[in-house]
Amino acid sequence: MRGSVEVFYRMPWFAIWIVLSVSATADDFPSEGFRVKVSQPRFAVSWLDDRSIYQAGDAATVRIKLLDNSFNGNLSTVKLYFSVSVCWQKGNSSYISAVFLYVGEDSSFYNISFTPIRVGEFSLIVVEDFSGVSDSSLHFRVIAGHIYPSACLPSWNNVAEEVVAGMKAFLLVFAKDAFGNNISSMEVPSKDYFILSATYQNGSLAENFNLLSCTWNELGYFGIEFIPTIAGSLLLHICGDNQTLNGSPLPFLVKPGILNISNSIARWKYEINSLQIFSKLEIFIYQKDQFGNSVPGFYPFDARVVQKETGLSVPVADLSFEVVAYGVQLLSFAVSEPGEFALTIFKTKLNESISNAPYPFSVFVGYCHGLNSFANGSGLIKSVAGRVSYFTVFLKDAYWNPSPVEAEKLYVQIFSRNGSFVVGPIIFPLRSINGTSHGPFTGFRESMGNTEFAVGMASKKLRTFIGRSTIQASEFRVTYIPEKSGDYEILLFCGNIPLNNGSSYFMKASSGIVDISKSRVVNFQSKVKKLEQLEVFVQLVDSYWNFVSSLEAYLNLHFQEKNNSHFMRTDFLENKDGLYVGYYTPRDLGNYNICISFAEKFLDPCPIEFHVYESKYFPEAKNDSISVWEEESVIFDVLSNDYALEGQLSVVEFSKPHHGSLLQYGRMFRYTPFKGYFGNDSFTYTISDVNNNVDLGTAFISVLCKPPQFSSLPLHLNVTEDVMSPQFGGFPGFEIMYSDSEENISLAINAKFGSVYLAPTHIDISEPMGGMLSFGRGGRKGKDLVLTGRIGIINDALQLIQYLSNENFYGEDIISLYATNINGVQDSHVPVMVKPINDPPIIRVPKLIILGNDASDGFQIFDKQRDAFEFSVVDTDIFHYPGNRSHLKVMFSIELNDGLLSTTLPVHLIKTIELKTKSSNQWQPLQTYVTIANHFIMKGKGVRFKGTIADSNNAMQRLFYQGAGLDAMLTITINDLGNYGCSSSCTDMVSFPLSAEATVKLIKRRPLSSTMAFLLGSAIFCEIAMLFLLGGSLLFFICKCMNALQKERKISSSITKAICREESYDSENEKFSASTSLSFARMHFRERSRQGIRSDESQESELPLSYQAIGDYVQYNPSCIEMQRLRQHGND
C-alpha cells in the first residue's frame, strides 16, 4: 500500500493545503485521477481508543471511516482531501498543532493526528474539502499540562512592591504549563521547588530567602511567603526546578526597620583612635535596625567621656552630632587634655548604649602639620609584587620644624583600589628625638648595641615596627612587600592628622618574574581535525599567582616529531590577564605530542598528546532556522541537518530559550512562544556521536507577528442609495487587534458597488508619540481606501468609515477589509444593504430631428442606420431591480401637435392603450384593432400605454410621422408610477410618482449645415475685417495729407516774410558785390550786434538772403539768389 499525504492548514489569515491522496499502487492512478472529485462521500468519524479528554501536549488521533457504498466499493480510484477545524480555524492554529493526515493499515480508514495545546472544551469539524461534506459530531476537552517554570508569571500581592525588613512578603506565581495555559490547582510543590534570592542593582548577592509557606489561593494563584531582612532597592530572582520564571527578576524595595540602639555601631574616622592634642575627635555612628540595615534620619544620642586613670567623667563643651550620610551621624568635639580615655554613646531614655561601647582613645602631645609634613620615595609610585619597596615620611610642625612623635603614632594604610587587598607596612624610625640619625640602608647595623634602638620587631594593627614602637622620631622609613599586582592607594596619618592634606598617593604594583612551576598550559584538545587551525592557551603567573603580561616572545611551541613539516604554526599572541594563545595546524593524520616552553623551560603539562583525525570523523551541528506564528506551537528536528560519521547522533544538552517554552521528545523539540511575544529567540544544543565527540549548534527561532486580526466587525450595515452614510461620523464596531503597537500596518478597504471614505473631522488623528496616519487610493482600479499607520491610529480612523454606493445602485453590497503586515494578509467582509430611492426616468432624445425620405407609411422618426443620436427612455431603478423587470411598469405617452403618429405595439398592451384621434384632444381607450403576428399598429395624434421600459423603447424605435406641414412638435412623456426597487406588490417601496417630458422638433427640410454656417460666418467676418482695414487706410492717408498741407503753409509764410525784408534792404544790397571782402561783412555784422536791437536768435534771419552767417563771419549765398529768381519767374 502506498499513498501521498497533503493536509490543509488554515491560519486566520491564509490557508495552506495539506491534502491526503490514497492509492493501492502507483500504477492504479490515471494521470487525470489526481483531480477526481467525489460528489457526495459518506464517512464516519471517531476518536482513537474512544478518548476525548487530553492533556495539553498529548497526541490526539481522529479516525475517519469511509463507507464503501459511497464509491461502489472501489476506494482506490478516488482521492479525498480531509481537514480539521477548531473554532473555525482550519489546520494548525492557537488551539491545535502538528496536524498530520495519514492512511491507516486499512485503506478505508484515514487518520488525522494533532496535538491540542489550548485548554478548554471544543468541537472538532472534519471536512472533505472537494465535496464540502463535513462532520461536527466530535467533541474533546483539554486540560492543562504540567507546570513549566519558565512560563510562570510572578507578581507581587500588593501594588506598592514595598516591604519592611522583618515583615512577611507575599509573592504570587501565576502557574502555567509549557503552552501558556493557566494552572489553577495541582499538587502543591515542595518548598524546595521554588528558590528565591535577592540581588542589588549591580548584581551582587544580597540575600537568599527561606520560604515560610507555599499554597494555592482562591484566585488560582500559587502564593509564596517569605521574610526579607536586607534593606535596599533589590531585585527578586525566582527560580523553579532550576528554571528562571518569566518576568524574573522583580524589582522591590525593602525598607529598614526601627532603630535598634544595641545593634548600632561606631567607627573612628580614618579607623584611628590616637588623637593629637587640640585636634578634633571624630567618630561615625551607624544607625542600625535589628537586621543591621542602616536607618536614616536624625536620632538624638548622648555621649560620655571617662578618663581611664581616674575613672572620672571629663566634661565636653563642644559636643556635636551631625547627619553626614544615609543612616550615619558624626560625633565630634575638641580634645585638650592628653591621656587615655573611653567614649560611651548611649540613649538615656532607653538606658541602652551602642554596640561595642565604650570606645577607647588616647590623646598625645604632638604638633604635626598635615600640609607641611610629607613623604618621598619611589615606593609611593610603583612597586613589584614580591619585592621590597620603600619611601620616607617627614613630619613637620606649622613652622616647618621637625615634629617628632612615637613610632606607633604614624599610621600607614596601603590597600588596593578595589578594596580587596591590604598590605602591611614596616615602619623604621630614621631620626630620633636626640638627633641620632640612621642611614637608609644601615639602620639595622647601626642600631646594634644602641640601647635606644633595640633590635626587634613589634606589630600593631597590620603595622610592623623595627625596634620599640614608642621611640620618638621625625623621620621614618616605610617599607612594604605587595603580593598582588594592581593599583593601590597609600594614606599617611600622624595620629588622626592626615598628611598630604588627606589626599592619597596612587601606586601601581606590577607583576613579578614568571614562576615556571605555577605557569601552565590551561586549554588544549586531545582530538583535533586535520588541516584545522587549533588553539592552545598558556597562562604565565609569578610566585604570587599574578598574571604576567607582554612576554609572548619567550613562548615557543615544540612538536616531538623529527619532521616538523607535519604542522603549520604561528607565534603566540597575548590575549588578556596573562593568557597567551598559540595556533597550529596539523597536516597529517596520527598521534602527536607537543610541549610549550617559556625561556627554554617547558611548562606543565608536557608532553601534551593529541590525535589527528579526518574532519568527517567529528560530528557537525549546523545551525537551524525555525519560524512559528505568535501564540502557536511548532515541532522540529534539530538533528535533521546535522552530520555524524555513522549517522547516530543524540542531543546531550540544550539551553532554555528566553521567550518561550521548549520541550524535548527524543531528537524532536517543541517550541511555544510566550503569550504576547514576537521577535527573535534562540537556544543552543550539544550533540554527541557514538565516539563521544561533541559539537555545539544553535537554533534560531523567528516568532512571526500575525497579520492584524479583526476583533470587532458589524454584522451588517444599512445605507441609502446615493447618500453618504452615515451622514455624521462613521460606522461603529470596527476594530483591529495587533500585537506590535510600534509597527506600521496597512489596511485596504473597498466596496464592490460603492466607495469607502473617511469622514471629515477636525480632530488630529495622530498618536502622541509621533505615529501618523497616511491614507490614499490604491488597488487595481484605484478605488481602495488604503490606510497606513500604527494600530492605534488605524483603529481611530476606522471609526470614521463612510460608504457611498455607485450612482443609482441599490441592493446587496459587501465591504471588504484587507489588513496587511510584513508577514501576511488578513481579510474580512461586512455585508451592506443599500436601500433604494426613487429616481426619475430619463428621456434621451435630441431637440431636432431631420426626417428622412417619405415612405408609404410616413416618415420614420428614428432610424438606427441613419441617425447617430439616442432616441430612448431610461429608468435607472431598473438596473438593479431584484425581481422580474417586467413587473416594473411605467406610463408612456407620445403626442404630436400637428399630423399623425403610427407605431407597432405588442398585443399584451391592448388593455392599457389609450389614443388621441385627429379630431379629439381627449385620451380614449382602444376600440378596434387588428393583430398580425401578436402585434398591431396604432395611428393617431397621440398614443399612451402602461408597460415596461422595453415596451416604451420598442414603440419609439417603430415610430412614424405623417403630416402635411414642414415641421411638427413631438412630445414624449414617461411616468414611473412611483415604483422603485421592488415589485409592484411591495407597498413599502412605492413613493410619489416621478415623470419626465421632452419635446422634439420634426422638420422635413434640411437646414443649413454646420459647415455651411461656419463658412458663411467666416465670409461675413472677413468682409467686416476688410471694411475696417480700408477705413483705417483711408484715415491714415487723410491724416498724412493734412500734415503735408500744414507744412507747406508754414514754408510759404516764411518765404513771403523774407522777400519783404529783402526789398527793404535793396539799397544796401547794391553796395555789395561778389568780390566784397569777408572782413567787411564781419565788421558790418559786429556793428549791428553791438546795437542790440534784436536778439541773437534773430540776427541770422536779418541778413540778406544772399548771405549767411557762419560764426562771426558772413559769406555769400548764391543759391538763395537763384531761388528768388525762380520765384519771380513763376509769379510772372
pLDDT tens, position by position, 536-589: 899 999 999 999 988 888 888 888 765 566 677 778 888 877 789 988 888 888
Superfamily of domain 261-364 in the CATH hierarchy: Immunoglobulins (2.60.40.10)
Q: Is 1123 left (phi over 0), alpha (psi -120 to 50) or beta?
A: alpha
Average pLDDT over residues 692-700: 91
Top CATH class, 149-255: mainly beta
Please give the grid coordinates belonging to residue 29: 492512478
Query: Domain residues of the chain, as ranges?
Result: 2-143, 149-255, 261-364, 374-510, 520-613, 618-704, 709-835, 842-1007, 1030-1131
CB 935 within 8 A of CB 906: yes
Average pLDDT over residues 1077-1096: 40
Does 120 have pLDDT greater than 80? Answer: yes
For residue 850, give the nearest of 1007, 731, 992, 679 by alpha carbon. 1007
Residue found under cell 520564571 = 245
pLDDT at 382: 93
Please classify residue 611 by burial: count the beta carbons closer than 10 Å to its beta carbon, then call 0-12 exposed, 13-18 middle and 19+ buried. Answer: middle
CB 521 within 8 A of CB 603: yes
Does 337 have pLDDT greater than 80? Answer: yes
Measured on CA atoms in the order 901, 906, 907, 911, is the torsion positive or negative? negative
pLDDT tens, position by position, 891-916: 999 998 888 888 988 988 888 898 88
Average pLDDT over residues 599-624: 88
What CATH code would you report for 709-835? 2.60.40
Q: Domain 618-704: give its CATH architecture.
A: Sandwich (2.60)
Domain 2-143 has CATH 2.60.40.10: yes
Does 255 have pLDDT greater than 60? Answer: yes
pLDDT at 808: 85
Confidence of residue 74 (pLDDT cuts 50, 70, 90): low
Average pLDDT over residues 88-108: 84
- Cα separation, 918 vs 899, whole angstroms: 8
Which amino acid does the sequence have at 881? Y
pLDDT at 1121: 46
Superfamily of domain 374-510 in the CATH hierarchy: Immunoglobulins (2.60.40.10)
Measured on CA atoms in the order 22, 26, 30, 31, is the torsion positive or negative? positive
Does 1083 have pLDDT greater than 80? Answer: no
| Those residues with Cβ within 8 angstroms of residue 858's Cβ, 6 or more apart along the chain or in another chain | 900, 902, 960, 961, 962
Domain 520-613 has CATH 2.60.40.10: yes
Average pLDDT over residues 225-242: 91
User: Three-class SS of residue 1049?
Assistant: helix
HEC string of 678-726 equals CEEEEEEEEEECCCCCEEEEEEEEEEECCCCEEEECCCCEEEECCCCEC
pLDDT at 1007: 57
User: 374-510 with 618-704: one CATH topology?
Assistant: yes
pLDDT at 747: 93
Q: Which helix (H) or strand (E) holds 741?
A: none
Average pLDDT over residues 826-838: 90
pLDDT at 133: 82
Which of 3-17, 247-261, 855-869 comes out lowest in average pLDDT? Answer: 3-17
* Predicted TM-score of the model (pTM): 0.70
Is the omega angle on the peptide bond into residue 708 within 30 degrees of 0, that is, cis? Answer: no
pLDDT at 805: 92
Which of 510-519, 735-744, 910-919 comes out lowest in average pLDDT? Answer: 910-919
